[in-house]
Structure 1
Amino acid sequence: MIKGSQVLMLNRNKAPNKGLWNGVGGKLEPDETPELSVIREVEEETGYRISSPQYRGIVRWKVDDKEIGGMHVFIVNMTNQDTYPTPVKMDEGILDWKELTWLLDEENQGVVSNIPYFLPNMLQGKEACDYLCIYRDGRLLHVKEMGLIR
């Protein structure tokens, strides 16, 4: 969820990425579309019911030469009339609004490592794109833009 220059983020209290700020989301249920999944997951993790999430692409990860997962990314733009007071503690962790400049600061080690590589393009409203994050020995080595999703 985006409101002006702020992004609603979750400081996770569980692995993976325990203690790091990450976007809100989760896993697809059987026979669930990515759009229905994000609507359900946002409501489960925030208590807030969203509508019309905008699809921005896929982020996949390859760990030690093995592709092991990925996620669909959606953006929800909130208006000035929309309110979601934070910080708030939820089952998954603490939710809080974070300034985009803070999230993208290259010295910020409190954010999941791949976010600064794909989030700026996705927020600019470009066409949906596929990103591949390459990790070795637990460290992000490279994020590769694989092309547009048609």
Structure 2
Amino acid sequence: MLRFTICFIIKGSELLMLNRNKAPNKGLWNGVGGKINAGETPEQCIVREVAEETGLQIKKPRFTGTVQWENDNRLIGGMYVFVFHLDKDTTYPTPVKVDEGLLDWKSIDWLLEVDNAGVVSNIRFFLTDMLKDPEPSEYHCYYISGKLNGVRKMELSQM
């Protein structure tokens, strides 16, 4: 069920985020990523997706864990999560309009605010830990009628 990847690209205290212009999560800020193609590893996918969506050529993004979600007690999806630190000398002026939406730098503090309705609802529950560079973990997000009802962090199971 892990068919997607997402990457949080960091420069200093900001993340390069995408305000999606398509469902799911239309109009919300999220990381960059997409669907894994047949025969592609999650790392190959995220390197490709970052290049396609941002033009950035990244190498060796850090795998930080997985996020799965279920709605009304039915597992409906999941993704591999990566973090990549840009070199401090790298410039990437924003905002930039791309096919998927609008790219812009957002402060980590702003993204993690509890009542920030402009950000995908589950991000604040896993991103804080994943940015700290711990061992990869698994997160399960539980939705009821499409609304986030809870998140559970677990030890990462064997993939």
Give the TM-score taking structure 1 as reference length. Answer: 0.98
1:72 is the counterpart of 2:80: yes
Describe how 1:67-146 pairs up with structure 2 within 5 A: 67-146=75-154
1:148 CA drift (Å): 3.2
Alignment partner of 1:30 out of 10, 13, 38: 38
Would you say the 8 A contact 1:57–1:149 is kept in 2? Answer: no
Alignment partner of 1:42 out of 50, 53, 64: 50
Q: Specify every segment of 5 or more residues in structure 1 that has no aligned partner in the other structure, as ranges.
A: none
Give the aligned residue type for 1:23. G
Identity %: 56
| Higher deviation after alignment, 79-88 or 16-25 | 79-88
* Aligned-partner Cα distance in 2 for 1:107–1:37: 31
Residue-pair matches, total: 150
Name the counterpart of 1:57: 65
* Aligned-partner Cα distance in 2 for 1:5–1:109: 20
Question: Would the alpha carbon gap of residues 61 and 147 (structure 1) be closer, same or farther in structure 2, given more than 3 Å must change?
Answer: same
The RMSD of aligned alpha carbons is 0.8
Give the TM-score taking structure 2 as reference length. Answer: 0.92
